[in-house]
Structure 1
Amino acid sequence: MNSPEVLIIGGGPAGSSCAAILAEYGHRVLILEREKFPRYHIGESLIPFTFGPLERLGMIPKMRASHFTKKYSVTFVQPDGRRSQPFYFFTRYDRESVAQTWQVLRSEFDQMLLDNAREKGAEVREETTVTQLLKDDSGKVIGVEVENKDGDKEQLLAKLVIDASGKEAFASNRLGWRIGDPYLNKIAVWTYYKGSKREPDIDEGATTVAFVPDKGWFWHIPQHNDMVSVGVVAEGKYLTRDGVRDPKEIFHREVEQNQWIKEHLATGTPVGQYWLTSEYSRHSKYGASPGLLLVGDAFAFIDPCFSSGVMLALKSGVLSGEEVHKALVEGDLSPQRFAHYGATIRQGVENMRKLVYAFYDPNFSFREVIKRFPEAAGEITDCLSGDVNKDFTPLWNRIREFVPLPDDLPYGVPLAA
């Protein structure tokens, strides 16, 4: 490749989808990925409106040909084991598109996305760590310094650097832009089971959200090869009560707090390690600055209770790819050029964020909202399914009759020169 026009930090869903769009248009794009793919990653349940970005990327035939478990619904379970009626996507959406999605193994899914970018002409350097942003005298980002697995360093220049570094949030951490969410500060502990009990027939691939006390919850995500991803999310003070810090001990103690989870895991065997992560939700104060654009989790990430992460990452990657293509053609890569992109992704984040805040409020119940406002059922389904770029003001007004909701955060805007 001649000197790249665009450098992308990170080859996950956001980075690979942005690269695929740019390469498809004929732009010279280089992905710099720290790991060697396939690599492990959490975030395995796709929501229905992931379909649009995947279709734009040409991935739907590959997904349909894959062995990923098909997902038709989400269900909620009380601590005593009482299970709600499944929320089937096909009761609201076209069966040929968003009515069915997938439970994925991220190592395989992310490899497919990265290979797709390669097939379209993107160059990928794996096991290459970006160590710093390079700037000119005006403060504009003009490239990056990288280090390969042998410790050799190199400086790479480009017209634009895109930060798709995920949770690492490379640029916002180094530039002082990273901001935690005022309320959403949870801890997750998870592992994998082989042979866990599943629901029959069409419900076999359903995502189950199973509640534990203090507004904590388990996810139970069936995968192929008879594997299940299962984890618990709650406030740190709840999960580490009585001084317990060991992830395995925390996990198995919480299994006892939900009869459905206990019953379903009883038929299976835990496989592999117990993982722990904290401080899920975060935002970048700015979404772009001279020579720099943020996409995916590097832009913002919201608590995973509704599995919105991969959808927002793919949507962000595709939209940023389209916008950067236009900017390159027009010769205008100023931060303000990406104001619409930032506002679009921010709208989606804020809509999902409001629903997450409601979810964690002890006085909130989907059932009670829909009982008083039957017309809210479709709006809630749309937001939960990822149709997040529309005006939900009527829904938020209805929910505010039950619980308070947060104001929009003024983040993700371009930082002018």
Structure 2
Amino acid sequence: MNNTSHDYDAILIGAGPAGSCASAILAEYGHRVLVLEREKFPRYHIGESLIPFTFGPLERIGMIPKMKASHFVKKYSVTFVQPEGRRSQPFYFFTRYDRETVAQSWQVLRSEFDQMLLDNAREKGAEVREQTTVNRLLMEGERVIGVEATDRTTGRAYEVRAPIVVDCTGKEAFTSNKRGWRLRDPYLNKIAVWTYYKDSKRGEGIDEGDTTVAYVPDKGWFWHIPQHDGMTSVGIVAEGKYLTRDGVKDPKEIFHREVEENLWIKDRLSVGQSTGEYFITSEYSRHSRYCAAPGLVLAGDALAFLDPVFSSGVMLALEGGQLVGEAIHEGLVAGDLSPARFTEYGATVRQGVENMRKLVYAFYDPNFSFREVIKAHPDAAGQLTDCLSGDVNKDFTQLWDWIREFVPLPDDLPYGEPAPEGDALATA
């Protein structure tokens, strides 16, 4: 590390799941941590379904007792529904895992969940400044040494310095956009339209909180996520040319037209009331070419984000936040925060992303069927459950070989390593 005077040991840009998890870990170790967040929490965010392997990072930062005491709906399974309404047997997590750990997860309201995560980081000692915009990275040669930020409530601009800056800016992808590292997935570029319903139909008992993936033609799909207080998150994801066919661009019109394409979804929404607000977004899947540069590391959605069909986003963000928090702590103790220190971190994150990415690619292939793969290879059921549950850092070679008997799968993208010397000179 250099001789620059530091105001903090680490500066994190963004207070979503990755930023809150990493800052909680660093603060718990006694490091001076500053979190800069553009919005005022609680704030709205999509992505409400937690898959089972969020348990590990949540447990690491002391969140499990808070989650168990919350009013979030418990989630025990995921179910798939054909357009004509035929419903698969639920993939119950407890058939594979210990009921006291990852066998159950939650359907959350992200405004509340993210507030809980951020409050947890504060309780552990992290300093949080909300309504703060990061304008630019401060550079000393090729090394990031801090940030220039603006307090949006006062308009005051100031600089803060630290030996490491962590980009946790989510979809905004502050660093990879500035440096030209942000890359779209070669295929996974969809549009989503969604809304919320009050008191629509849902399952009973253990099935009340299951996530349902309901197919529509051309490999589009609905998500159906029951939440607390009688609310349900419902959205459609598909190719833009499919959703905007015949020149239709109004999200409400798109949504209600597509409801007619799946009988199960139509039945679920035949009672209850829409909140009346409809959302639309595009370009779900994206990747940063690099994970780190001198004085800088990326985490969570700022590093990579996949199509949400299997609800992997929050788990990958929390896991990435945990990994990067531990890696930074070790680097601070060792006096070494060089980009090379984050090589293993980047490789671990990319392994998880690539494993889940293969399953997402298979899902969108019209020749793929969970049922047919399991029929041909019964042992695939357990491995599919593992991947769907978020146990993504393991060797799935056998599973991919079985699936390749039905559909092609993509090669791993050559991303996730620290930037080579010279790339850090790009505009920041």
Task: Provide TM-score, normalisation by structure 1.
Answer: 0.99
Q: Give 1:9's match in structure 2, choosing from 9, 13, 16.
A: 13
Q: Give 2:275's match in structure 1, choosing from 243, 256, 271.
A: 271
For residues 307-386 of structure 1, the aligned pairs below 5 Å read: 307-386=311-390
Q: Tell me which residue corresponds to 1:174.
A: 178
- Alignment partner of 1:127 is 2:131: yes
Residue aligned with 2:278, SS: strand
**Cα distance in 1, alignment partners of residues 163 and 33 from structure 2:** 10
**Cα distance in 1, alignment partners of residues 188 and 201 from structure 2:** 31
Residue aligned with 1:257, SS: coil
Aligned amino acid, residue 130 of structure 1: V
**Cα distance in 2, alignment partners of residues 339 and 272 from structure 1:** 46
Report if aligned partners of 1:370, 1:376 keep a CA contact under 8 Å in 2: yes
Q: Give 1:408's match in structure 2, choosing from 387, 393, 412.
A: 412
Unaligned runs of 5+ in 1: none
- Alignment partner of 1:144 is 2:147: yes
Aligned amino acid, residue 141 of structure 1: V
Compute the displacement of 1:240 (Å).
0.2
**Cα distance in 1, alignment partners of residues 317 and 119 from structure 2:** 17
Work out the number of aligned pairs and report it: 415
Aligned amino acid, residue 198 of structure 1: R
Compute the displacement of 1:49 (Å).
0.5
**Cα distance in 2, alignment partners of residues 406 and 181 from structure 1:** 11
Residue aligned with 1:167, SS: helix
**Cα distance in 1, alignment partners of residues 138 and 403 from structure 2:** 46
Compute the displacement of 1:3 (Å).
1.5
Identity of paired residues, percent? Answer: 75
Compute the displacement of 1:151 (Å).
2.0
- Alignment partner of 1:58 is 2:62: yes
Q: Tell me which residue corresponds to 1:108.
A: 112
Residue aligned with 2:266, SS: helix
Q: Give 1:76's match in structure 2, choosing from 76, 80, 101.
A: 80
Unaligned runs of 5+ in 2: 1-5, 422-428
Compute the displacement of 1:338 (Å).
0.5
Report if aligned partners of 1:219, 1:230 keep a CA contact under 8 Å in 2: yes
Which consecutive segments of 4 or more residues in structure 1 shift more than 6 A?
Answer: none
Compute the displacement of 1:353 (Å).
0.1
Residue aligned with 2:267, SS: helix
Aligned amino acid, residue 358 of structure 1: A
**Cα distance in 2, alignment partners of residues 399 and 265 from structure 1:** 34
**Cα distance in 1, alignment partners of residues 331 and 362 from structure 2:** 38
**Cα distance in 2, alignment partners of residues 297 and 333 from structure 1:** 22
Report if aligned partners of 1:10, 1:31 keep a CA contact under 8 Å in 2: yes
Report if aligned partners of 1:244, 1:250 keep a CA contact under 8 Å in 2: yes
1:12-43 residue CA offsets vs partner (Å, 9 max, x unmatched): 00000000000000000100000000000000
1:108-156 residue CA offsets vs partner (Å, 9 max, x unmatched): 00000000000000000000000111111x2211111111113221111
Aligned amino acid, residue 23 of structure 2: A
Compute the displacement of 1:272 (Å).
4.1
For residues 191-210 of structure 1, the aligned pairs below 5 Å read: 191-210=195-214
Report if aligned partners of 1:336, 1:416 keep a CA contact under 8 Å in 2: no
Alignment RMSD (CA, Å): 0.7
**Cα distance in 2, alignment partners of residues 74 and 375 from structure 1:** 19
Report if aligned partners of 1:32, 1:124 keep a CA contact under 8 Å in 2: yes
- Alignment partner of 1:226 is 2:230: yes
Q: Tell me which residue corresponds to 2:251.
A: 247
Task: Provide TM-score, normalisation by structure 2.
Answer: 0.96
Q: Tell me which residue corresponds to 1:153.
A: 157
| CA separation of 1:318 and 1:397: change in aligned 2, threshold 3 A | same
